[in-house]
């Protein structure tokens, strides 16, 4: 059994698995080389051989316990025919929302459009030892996908005042999103993904109706993933009540934010925990970094814990800092 599955399935505290969100990314010189020759991000995600190569880059460098497929949560709106592009120094920008066009997409068309993602997973699954390491597939949570599709850009810190003006559109769109997320999840698992992570990047934006937009839609995905026999990790970033989220949604493990007190989590969360370290500490002095790493390892020493960050690794992070992080985690007693 892999270290991550020992932690999640067996609830083992004898292992400290490690992987990092955005571990295949701009801090790696080998990634920057490929990216410089492939300016279109969506096309890069749909280049199965390159996507697989990028996925494996951090495994070759740091021997992490999991690879996470190089892709993006916004492949979902792309797959149901909303235009998606990534603009330099700006981020994602989505096209106008045409509900009539979206609701006419069928499963075959969707799966065909994203087939390169599944081929990349399959290629990668044959290049790593799945008895020793996991291959993580992922999706955005229904709420986060909804936010992107309606808002069309990253909302940053708050939703527009008229976000909820068309309840029919929101409810119809949520239903469509949930349906295709399940298809996307199953396709990833069929291709070789051994764990699924659900990223709810904008969970923290919601002040009310949290059960309606976060708990219930995410629970539907979690139940579906469990029915396929694969562990599921949720990352409800910015959610106000992690305890409530875990009790209602019931993921197999939960990833925590860097601005959440881990001592509070250890006293309230029964399931395995992942993450928490602020990525900015990878830019700090080595002694400060080591102190912060050990803080999490000590707090969770008697609790099933997967070492990770509270958000994605920053592009300016030095390779040496990641090597130091891995070394501290691996040698922790």
Q: Is residue 198 included in any domain, yes or no?
A: yes
Q: 130 phi and psi, to 5 degrees?
A: -75, -5
Q: What's the rounded Cα separation, in Å, for the pair 71 and 153?
A: 18
Query: Is 121's pLDDT higher than 90?
Result: yes
Q: Report which of 76, 198, 65, 202 is spatially closest to residue 135, judged by C-alpha positions.
A: 65
- Model confidence at 157, pLDDT cuts 50, 70, 90, reads confident
- Model confidence at 89, pLDDT cuts 50, 70, 90, reads confident
Per-residue pLDDT at 207:
86
- Give tens-digit pLDDT for 195-233: 999 999 999 999 889 999 999 999 999 999 999 999 999
Beta strand 91-94 with 84-87 is antiparallel
Per-residue pLDDT at 333:
83
| DSSP per position, 179-220 | HHHHHHHHHHHHHT--EEEEE-TTGGG--S-HIIIIIHHHHH
Counting residues of the chain whose pLDDT is more than 70, the rounded percentage is 100
Per-residue pLDDT at 308:
98
Q: Is residue 304 included in any domain, yes or no?
A: yes
- Give tens-digit pLDDT for 13-41: 999 999 999 999 999 999 999 999 999 99
- Give tens-digit pLDDT for 276-328: 999 999 999 999 999 999 999 999 999 999 999 999 999 999 999 999 999 99
Q: Is residue 332 included in any domain, yes or no?
A: no
94 or 333: whose pLDDT is higher? 94
91 or 185: whose pLDDT is higher? 185
Q: Is residue 42 included in any domain, yes or no?
A: yes
User: Which residues are paired to 92 by β-bridges?
Assistant: 86
Give the mean pLDDT of 99-103.
Answer: 91
Confirm if 254 and 8 have CB atoms less than 8 A apart: no
Give the mean pLDDT of 93-108.
Answer: 94
- Model confidence at 269, pLDDT cuts 50, 70, 90, reads very high
Query: Is 151's pLDDT higher than 90?
Result: yes
Q: What's the rounded Cα separation, in Å, for the pair 98 and 270?
A: 43
Per-residue pLDDT at 64:
98
Q: What CATH number is associated with residue 76?
A: 3.20.20.210
Q: Is residue 283 included in any domain, yes or no?
A: no
Mean of per-residue pLDDT scores for the chain:
96
Give me the domain span that covers residue 7.
3-276+300-314
Q: Is residue 324 included in any domain, yes or no?
A: no
Instruction: Count the helix, strand and coil residues of the chain and give each as a percent rounded to the nearest 5.
Output: 50, 10, 40
How many domains, the chain? 1
- Model confidence at 160, pLDDT cuts 50, 70, 90, reads confident
CA 311 to the chain's CA centroid: 9
Q: Is residue 107 included in any domain, yes or no?
A: yes
Per-residue pLDDT at 331:
96
Q: Is residue 148 included in any domain, yes or no?
A: yes
């Amino acid at each position: 059994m892999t270290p991550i599955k020992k932690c999640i399935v067996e609830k083992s505290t004898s292992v400290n698995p490690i992987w990092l969100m955005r571990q295949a990314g701009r801090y790696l010189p080998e990634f920057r080389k490929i990216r410089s020759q492939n300016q279109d991000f969506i096309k890069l995600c749909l280049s199965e051989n390159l996507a697989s190569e990028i996925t494996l880059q951090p495994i070759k460098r740091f021997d992490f316990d999991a690879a996470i497929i190089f892709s993006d949560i916004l492949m979902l709106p792309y797959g149901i025919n909303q235009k998606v592009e990534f603009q330099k120094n700006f981020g994602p920008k989505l096209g106008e929302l045409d509900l009539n066009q979206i609701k006419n997409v069928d499963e075959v068309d969707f799966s065909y459009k994203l087939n390169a993602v599944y081929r990349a997973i399959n290629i990668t699954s044959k290049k790593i030892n799945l008895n020793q390491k996991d291959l993580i597939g992922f999706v955005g949570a229904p709420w986060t996908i909804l936010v992107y599709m309606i808002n069309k850009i990253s909302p940053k810190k708050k939703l527009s005042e008229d976000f909820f003006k068309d309840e029919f559109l929101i409810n119809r769109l949520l239903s469509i999103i949930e349906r295709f997320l399940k298809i996307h999840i199953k396709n990833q698992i069929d291709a070789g993904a051994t764990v699924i992570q659900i990223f709810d990047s904008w969970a923290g934006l919601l002040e009310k109706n949290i059960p309606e937009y976060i708990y219930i839609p995410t629970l539907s995905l979690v139940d579906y993933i469990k029915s396929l026999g694969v562990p599921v990790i949720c990352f409800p970033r910015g959610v106000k009540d992690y305890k409530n989220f875990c009790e209602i949604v019931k993921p197999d493990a939960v990833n925590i934010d860097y601005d959440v007190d881990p001592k509070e989590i250890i006293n309230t969360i029964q399931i395995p925990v992942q993450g928490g370290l602020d990525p900015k500490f990878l830019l700090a002095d080595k002694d400060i970094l080591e102190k912060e790493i050990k803080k999490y390892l000590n707090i969770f020493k008697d609790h099933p814990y997967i070492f990770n960050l509270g958000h994605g690794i920053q592009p300016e992070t030095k390779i040496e800092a990641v090597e130091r992080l891995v070394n501290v985690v691996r040698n922790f007693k």
